[in-house]
Amino acid sequence: MKRFSLALIIILSILMSALAGCNTAAEEMSIDKYSWELTSVQSGPQGDIIAYNAENDGYASAYPDASPVNIYLSAGDGNFVLTDTTNGKTYEGTYKVIEDKQANVIYEINLGEHSGYAGVGMTSFHDGSQTPTLNISINDYALNFHAPAVSD
């Protein structure tokens, strides 16, 4: 009986140590963990690209009717700021976690009088590289952001 109790204590200790090292998606993929740079803005029933990151030359030829912009998002303590360096404007909003699943986090966001949702996750590419991504859906718009690439 003593051996069984000792073995049980050792197994539980190992299990607790392993669980203590596990992080939730909200800790790993938090909106406030990265500095975000706009990739594109989509709108309409077909999800047309209406704006794109001015530094991405590929979008200019693929979407000639879309506008090049430089928009950045920073977040912390339930607040976020969108900074549009193209026109010198900033927009402030709030966020809160509504779902935390494995490697993705979903937020409810408010931006002025508008509300919507945001999702943070990791996008993996064929070459093995990964990029944290933030997608915001608000009104009829989808704003897609990325953070600098992270190698495997």
Look up residue 72 and give its DSSP letter: E
Query: For the whole model, what pTM was predicted?
Result: 0.79
Give the separation between CA 73 and CA 34, rounded to whole angstroms: 9
- The tens digit of pLDDT for each residue in 115-127 reads 999 999 998 889 9
Asked if 109 and 136 touch (Cβ cutoff 8 Å), the reply is: yes
Q: Give the C-alpha distances (Å, rounded to integers) separating 149 from 84, 85, 124.
A: 22, 22, 10
Average pLDDT, the chain: 83
Please state which of the ranges 19-33, 81-95, 98-112 shows the lowest mean pLDDT: 19-33
SS3 99: strand
Residue 27: what pLDDT?
A: 57
Q: Nearest-CA neighbor of 39 among 117, 149, 127, 140? A: 149
> How many distinct helices (H) and strands (E) make up the chain?
3, 10
C-alpha angle 54-56-57 in degrees, rounded to nearest 5? 100
pLDDT band at residue 139 using 50, 70 and 90 as cut-offs: very high
Burial class (CB within 10 angstroms; exposed 0-12, middle 13-18, buried 19+) of 17: exposed
Pair 105, 89: CB distance under 8 Å: no
pLDDT for res 129: 86
| pLDDT confidence of residue 36 | 97
Strand bridging mode 130-138 / 104-111: unpaired
Give residue-wise pLDDT tens across range 99-116.
988 789 999 999 999 999
